[in-house]
């Protein structure tokens, strides 16, 4: 009996203990589920991520719209400020295209006078600034007219001052900006006067714009004429130099002729060993005379035919890079002298000659080559700058069309440039070796 009771007690205690363990495990499982519920509920997590993504997209669209609006405002302010601020580039204004086709400064001066006279007539006839309303001040039309006239004078003065400032400040790099400045002043002043019905006429604006354009183009015309005069003077100097070369060559030929005549006279009287020496001297002088005569004849030919000369094709890799060539012309007796001049102190390296082509009509040949590569010019404004970005094979093909016998040197020696690169490379290698030798000792 006691044994049964003991067994029952043991069984009851064991069940109670087991029940306690189960309860504890269940509570732990609930706690774990609650803790990792966001991870375990995959669908809910996916929905949350999608919601966050949509919210981010909406925020991004809002930011983009806000940026676009503010950017538009910023660009508008920049465009307005650029009209008055010389430091701001306004690319939208573009390159200035001439509006008048006058050949001489006098024609421009006459046209400027005519436009200014038209402005004065419009002001005198009260057509420059007008008011289409009759105002009364304190019930008086007379006072109203006085107020209107004062407003018209102030408007004209303000607009004229703005135009005069723009015209006097006009240069090649801001002419379109100054034109826009006048138009802005026209719009702004008319807007301020809307309440008084005072208006600057469009015809008066056009005259001001014409004055600005004429003034600018007059300045450009004068500059071009100066450059043309400089070119004419250069050609005169070139012809004078050719003439000096003719005179020098003639004197050189005369000198050798006199020396040869004396040597022949002496040889006719000499005997023995002295005769042999004099005969050798005569042969040497005959060779020198022949060369001097050839130079003299060539100088005469080039001086008589001022169109004859040499077309040269040169490059300067160290100064301008791999694909830039100068196609020029020289009438010098020794054309390489011109190439040596080009490589003076104004550029860091000497030029390499790729071709030197003689022509009876050198200006025509040069013009033909320049036209062929016109779209490759580096300087699109000053056409006297004869540098072109192209390949030597293309230049060679074009030259050979005009002169099949022309010789080309296709490899640029660029000796000073390449030697400079080598020296620079050696210095860098030496510096690296020195650094590598010093580094372990310092560690």
Q: At 293, is the pLDDT very low, low, confident or very high (cuts 50, 70, 90)?
A: confident
Minimum mean pLDDT range among 78-92, 125-139, 219-233, 407-421: 78-92
**Residue 318 and residue 348 in contact, taking contact as beta carbons nearer than 8 Å:** yes
Classify 130 as helix, strand or coil. strand
pLDDT tens per residue across span 149-192: 999 999 999 999 999 999 998 887 788 889 999 999 999 999 99
pLDDT tens per residue across span 249-267: 788 888 878 887 887 887 7
Q: Describe the strand order of the beta sheet including 324-330 as a list of residue ranges.
A: 352-359, 309-315, 324-330, 387-389
Minimum mean pLDDT range among 23-37, 157-171, 364-378: 23-37
Cβ-based neighbour number of residue 198 at 10 Å:
21
Average pLDDT, the chain: 79
Q: Give the model's pLDDT for residue 172.
A: 76
CA–CA distances in Å: residue 121 to residues 115, 118, 154, 204, 305: 10, 5, 18, 10, 57
Give the DSSP letter of residue 349.
S
Q: Give the model's pLDDT for residue 88.
A: 46
**Residue 169 and residue 143 in contact, taking contact as beta carbons nearer than 8 Å:** no
Mean per-residue pLDDT, 342-351? 81
Going by C-beta distance under 8 Å and a sequence separation of 6 or more, which residues neighbour residue 303?
Answer: 239, 242, 243, 245, 246
Mean per-residue pLDDT, 198-204? 96
Tokens linked to 101: 């086709």
Q: How far apart are CA 46 and CA 51, in angstroms?
A: 9
**Residue 387 and residue 325 in contact, taking contact as beta carbons nearer than 8 Å:** yes
CA–CA distances in Å: residue 271 to residues 76, 268, 283: 102, 8, 17
Give the range with max mean pLDDT: 45-54, 145-154, 399-408. 145-154
Q: Give the model's pLDDT for residue 75.
A: 63
């Amino acid at each position: 009996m006691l044994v049964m009771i003991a067994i029952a007690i043991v069984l009851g205690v064991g069940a109670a203990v087991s029940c306690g363990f189960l309860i504890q495990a269940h509570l732990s499982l609930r706690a774990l589920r609650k803790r990792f519920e966001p991870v375990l509920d995959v669908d809910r997590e996916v929905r949350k991520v999608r919601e966050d993504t949509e919210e981010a997209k909406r925020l991004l669209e809002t930011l983009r719209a806000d940026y676009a609006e503010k950017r538009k405002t910023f660009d508008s302010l920049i465009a307005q400020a650029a009209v008055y601020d010389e430091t701001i580039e306004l690319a939208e204004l573009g390159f200035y295209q001439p509006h008048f086709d006058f050949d001489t400064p006098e024609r421009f001066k006459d046209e400027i006078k005519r436009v200014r006279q038209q402005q004065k007539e419009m002001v005198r006839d009260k057509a420059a600034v007008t008011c289409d309303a009759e105002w009364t001040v304190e019930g008086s039309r007379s006072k109203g007219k006085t107020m209107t006239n004062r407003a018209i004078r102030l408007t004209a003065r303000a607009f004229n001052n703005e135009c005069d400032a723009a015209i006097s400040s006009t240069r090649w790099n801001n002419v379109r900006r100054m034109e826009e400045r006048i138009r802005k002043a026209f719009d702004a002043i008319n807007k301020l006067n809307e309440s008084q019905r005072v208006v600057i006429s469009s015809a008066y604006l056009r005259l001001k714009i014409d004055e600005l354009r004429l003034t600018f183009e007059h300045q450009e015309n004068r500059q071009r004429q100066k450059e043309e005069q400089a070119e004419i003077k250069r050609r005169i100097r070139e012809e004078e130099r050719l003439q000096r070369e003719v005179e020098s060559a003639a004197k050189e030929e005369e000198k050798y002729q006199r020396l040869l005549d004396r040597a022949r006279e002496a040889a006719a009287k000499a005997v023995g060993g002295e005769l042999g020496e004099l005969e050798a001297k005569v042969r040497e002088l005959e060779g020198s005379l022949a060369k001097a005569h050839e130079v003299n004849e060539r100088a005469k030919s080039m001086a008589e035919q001022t169109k004859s000369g040499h077309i040269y094709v040169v490059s300067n890799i160290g100064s301008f890079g791999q694909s830039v060539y100068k196609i020029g012309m020289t009438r010098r007796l020794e054309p390489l002298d011109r190439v040596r001049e080009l490589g003076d102190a104004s550029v860091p390296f000497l030029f390499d000659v790729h071709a030197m082509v003689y022509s009876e009509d050198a200006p025509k040949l040069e013009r033909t080559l320049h036209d062929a590569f016109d779209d490759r010019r580096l300087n699109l404004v000053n056409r006297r700058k004869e540098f072109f970005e192209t390949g030597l094979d293309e230049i060679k093909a074009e030259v050979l069309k005009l002169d099949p016998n022309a010789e080309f040197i296709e490899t640029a020696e660029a000796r000073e440039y390449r030697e400079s690169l080598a020296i620079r490379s050696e210095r860098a290698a030496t510096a690296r070796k020195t650094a590598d030798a010093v580094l372990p000792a310092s560690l």
